[in-house]
Structure 1
Amino acid sequence: MAKSKFERNKPHVNIGTIGHVDHGKTSLTAAITKYFGEFKAYDQIDAAPEEKARGITISTAHVEYETPNRHYAHVDCPGHADYVKNMITGAAQMDGAILVCSAADGPMPQTREHILLARQVGVPAIVVFLNKVDQVDDAELLELVELEVRELLSSYDFPGDDIPVVKGSALAALEDSDKKIGEDAIRELMAAVDSYIPTPERPIDQPFLMPIEDVFSISGRGTVVTGRVERGIVKVGEEVEIVGIRPTSKTTVTGVEMFRKLLDQGQAGDNIGALIRGVNRDGVERGQILCKPGSVKPHKKFMAEAYILTKEEGGRHTPFFTNYRPQFYFRTTDVTGIVTLPEGTEMVMPGDNVTVAVELIVPIAMEEKLRFAIREGGRTVGAGIVAEEGGRHTPFFTNYRPQFYFRTTDVTGIVTLPEGTEMVMPGDNVTVAVELIVPIAMEEKLRFAIREGGRTVGAGIVASIVE
């Protein structure tokens, strides 16, 4: 059957359901498709084989539907703690989220974790659906649950007082048993989503980048990689690079699809499948990116600004030290990294904001300001942002003249290497003599950064003052 073309006649918005296991995320998704899309039954959404036995959503299911104002792509996110990894890839694709909370139970541990993850991966807006209201007879109790959810959202820097909260029953909507809490509530919810979740501005004029979420082999056609286009445009026939984890390689995009419809191009915000030429199924993997050639480089080393969660926020109970080896979750993949604390910092406590150096065990496509989660034993223990990627790529010699950054200012200094040391390689620890071009107020043990062309390439401490 020939595939139909995807029509772009309305703003396209990616949203998803988040919340605790069994609070009704998948039922709500099914109910929305009943009134606004091509109806998908609960068991069609909850379709991955391993879910059937446990009744738990594991993979992220994508459905589409429309309101009069917008076209929506909807991700049904996993609610089970084991599968938060998929939640991160699902949530990273959201322009907004519907938080589903059972009125009978109130907020639960995963309600909190999903709100935290939404905050970490930058979901800009949340609308709340208080589900299963038919199980609560007491109006005061319902108000109490709403208040609790609003306070929880506020505690993670969402505007809890302003967020729309819609009360209803996804089951009543699916079974047509009570129009007021069923169909009417679903329509009220989507009106709130339409008006409260802002239409995202898509960065289509930037160089193309798409994180790879999944890889498929289609017999007779080749390899398809799927993901959400983060920025830019990719057209059929264009050359792209595959960056990260393995050596960088080039390929050509020979086809683009969305919701099984053909596109001439994929653009920022689209969830697409891209058919790529000359790459077999094993030649590409989740965690890599497709991008405009030369626009993004892979790095193993970077400086990170990170916040370490407190025990109350679900984080670590104890401090960590240099050589701590957690997982760093970038876009769609976990990579182990080795943390080095700044000179003079002995340990980092839960609740600290800290700048650390990280060396990953494999290179990842990264740029400054890229966000990541820090994970340990399957739970999120921190979140951060890439402050600077890489360092110097080449050695330096005597008479090297970088900037030394003390407290609040940069000063050029001339470096003299110790007798017998010909050069200093990236990764070396070294004692050097420095002469600044202007005097700076300093004392022993004062820290500084070494900077070059606006980026940090080293860090140090004043060992002794000569004059």
Structure 2
Amino acid sequence: LGVKQMIVGVNKMDTTEPLISQQKNQKKKKIEEIHQGSSSRLHQRRYGYNPCDLCPLCPSHGWNGDNMLDASPNMPWYKGWTIERKSGKSEGKSLLQALDAMEPPTRPTDKPLRLPLQDVYKIGGIGTVPVGRVETGVLKPGTVVTFAPANLTTEVKSVEMHHEALQEAVPGDNVGFNVKNVSVKELRRGYVCGDSKDTPPKATEEFTAQVIVLNHPGQISNGYTPVLDCHTAHIACKFREIKEKCDRRSGKKLEDNPKSIKSGDAAIIDLVPTKPMCVETFTDFPPLGRFAVRDMKQTVAVGVIQVCEAQDVTGGKGTKGCEKGQKKNNKGLDWAAIYQLGRPRGQKGASGRTFPLIPLSQNIWCCCVRVHRKEFQKEREKRPPFPPHVKKEKDSCCLIGGFF
């Protein structure tokens, strides 16, 4: 799941028999047993860690602070931990020293912006303020962003963290940002914000993931529909097809098209969200590519996304500010062809009828829109007569319009 560093803490050393400061040999032997047990679980059975190099083990007593900040005189039998990092060898005794020995991760500022929304607020005098943590990329005021899976595009007015304005927000920052002309009802927790000009996020139609079943009382087969917790999204997804059973550590194929899987098994599965959802592959965006499977009020499985198939969205909603630059492109369309496509088959048309989006090509679509009569008075003389299903009014008319 992308967790590359870990500390094993053994707390409540004061509750042991005998006490932590007595019978050194027994205490040392017990800690060695715990170390071996945790090492076996982390390395051999499930997670693939090498505890000797990556996971320091720290016995402690939190109530009195033994081995929390400094080495405790009550544990003279404990000789400390030693780990090997890329930066070199580290050693110590306390939990704080183990935390200080962790290597800071590199922040993916060079990747496209991804910011899953945690909450959306409406603040008086400011407007709509989505809140979330920047996972990848950089968020700046003035950036035109897209929210998936709603495919809503708008502009960022300002970015703040802890009531202080920021010139840019980098990965790891929990920020709130004000957006233009967007209602608080149009956004919700689980949406993903991205730069509309740099690989914007899209709604996911289906995805393929490697799933490891941790704790399920029965067997899982095709059609199983649990809840997936991926970043801030909490959406039910259907196990459409269990494609193959594989080794959870090496990924080697063990069986094609198994009928079911159980606790301890790993499998490659095609999943389909039951509601609009935005996820990414683990290799491209790790925070948006790992998930937990929840059922019966517990985590029954975990997984990482290998392949993600995005929905083909022909047109999305944009705010007025974002649409200003698009108005100049709405000329030179074949209105006769648009009328013909807009008229339903087998009908001459009904007054006031609203038609769905109709794609004309990869970049052009048409729908019923309202335009001012005066703006198109000259152009209408060159176009064919209005079809019978167009509703005419005094100051405006509803006609089929094309947009890039």
Query: Which TM bucket (shorter chain)?
Result: 0.5 to 0.7
| 1:119-134 equivalence runs, <5 A | 120=1, 122-134=2-14
Alignment of 1:263 with 2:166, yes or no, is yes
TM-score (norm 1): 0.50
Q: Is residue 191 from structure 1 mapped to residue 91 from structure 2 by the alignment? A: no
Contact kept in structure 2, 1:130 and 1:168, CA below 8 Å: yes
Q: Which 5+ residue runs of structure 1 have no aligned equivalent?
A: 1-119, 174-179, 310-314, 395-467
- The letter for the 2-side match of 1:298 is A
Summarize the alignment of residues 53-452 of structure 1 with structure 2, pairs less than 5 Å apart. Answer: 120=1, 122-136=2-16, 137-138=19-20, 139=24, 140-141=26-27, 144-145=30-31, 147-148=33-34, 151-152=37-38, 154-156=40-42, 157-162=48-53, 163-173=55-65, 181=67, 183-184=69-70, 188-195=94-101, 197-244=102-149, 247-293=150-196, 294-309=199-214, 315-341=215-241, 342=243, 344-369=257-282, 370-390=289-309
CA distance in 2, matches of 1:352, 1:371: 17
Pairwise CA distance, 1:298? 0.8
C-alpha separation between the residues in 2 aligned to 1:386 and 1:181? 39
Q: 1:131 to 1:275 in 2, by over 3 A?
A: farther
Q: Residues of 1 paired with 2:12 and 2:258: CA distance? A: 50
How many Å separate the matches in 2 of 1:320 and 1:191?
A: 43
Contact preservation (8 Å) 2:204, 2:311:
no
CA distance in 1, matches of 2:218, 2:122: 45
Structure 1 counterpart of 2:319: none
Distance 1:301 1:182 in 2: 46
Shifted more, 365-374 versus 129-138: the winner is 129-138
* 385-394 vs 277-286, which moves further: 385-394
Q: Is the 8 A contact 2:35 2:57 kept in 1?
A: no
Distance 2:34 2:291 in 1: 29
2:322 alignment counterpart = none
Structure 2-normalised TM-score?
0.57
Deviation of 1:231 after TM superposition, in Å, equals 0.7
Cα distance change of structure 1 residues 185 and 252 upon mapping to structure 2, 3 Å threshold: farther
1:370-420: CA deviation from partner (whole Å, max 9, x where unpaired): 2222221222222222222228969xxxxxxxxxxxxxxxxxxxxxxxxxx
Coordinate RMSD, CA, aligned? 2.9
Instruction: Rate the CA distance shift 1:168–1:306 in 2: closer, same or farther, 3 A.
Output: closer
Q: Return the letter of the residue paired with 1:289.
A: V
Query: 1:20-61, CA deviations, whole angstroms, 9 ceiling, x for partnerless residues?
Result: xxxxxxxxxxxxxxxxxxxxxxxxxxxxxxxxxxxxxxxxxx
1:398-444 Cα shifts (integer Å, max 9, x gaps): xxxxxxxxxxxxxxxxxxxxxxxxxxxxxxxxxxxxxxxxxxxxxxx
Cα 1:132/1:259, change in 2 over 3 Å? farther
Q: Match of 2:52, as an amino acid?
A: D
Deviations 1:179-206 (A, max 9, x none): x6565259943332122x2111111011
Distance (whole Å) between structure 1 residues aligned to residue 308 and residue 264 of structure 2 = 24
Residue 305 of structure 2 aligns to a residue whose secondary structure is strand
Deviation at 1:149, TM superposition (A): 5.5
How far did residue 357 of structure 1 move? 1.9
Judging changes above 3 Å, is the alpha-carbon distance between structure 1 residues 258 and 295 closer, same or farther for their aligned structure 2 residues?
same
Q: Is the 8 A contact 1:171 1:182 kept in 2?
A: no
Identity among equivalent pairs (%): 26
The answer for unaligned runs of 5 or more in structure 2 is 43-47, 73-92, 244-255, 283-288, 314-404
1:336 Cα deviation (Å)? 0.9
Larger radius of gyration: 2
Residue 177 of structure 1: aligned partner:
none
Counterparts of 2:115 and 2:295 in 1: how far apart (Å)? 26
Kept in 2: contact 1:150–1:161 (CA 8 A): no
**1:282, 1:221 → 2: CA distance?**
16
Counterpart CA distance in 2 for 1:160 and 1:254 is: 47
- Indicate if the aligned counterparts of 1:300 and 1:361 stay in contact, CA closer than 8 A: no
Instruction: Give 1:276 deviation, angstroms.
Output: 2.5
Q: How much has 1:220 moved relative to structure 2?
A: 1.9
For residues 277 and 301 of structure 1, what CA distance do their matches in structure 2 show? 31
8 Å CA contact retained: 1:304, 1:386: yes
| 1:151–1:160 CA contact under 8 A, matched in 2 | no
CA–CA distance in structure 1, aligned partners of residues 110 and 14 of structure 2: 48
Deviations 1:306-361 (A, max 9, x none): 2222xxxxx11322222111112211122111212248532223333222221111
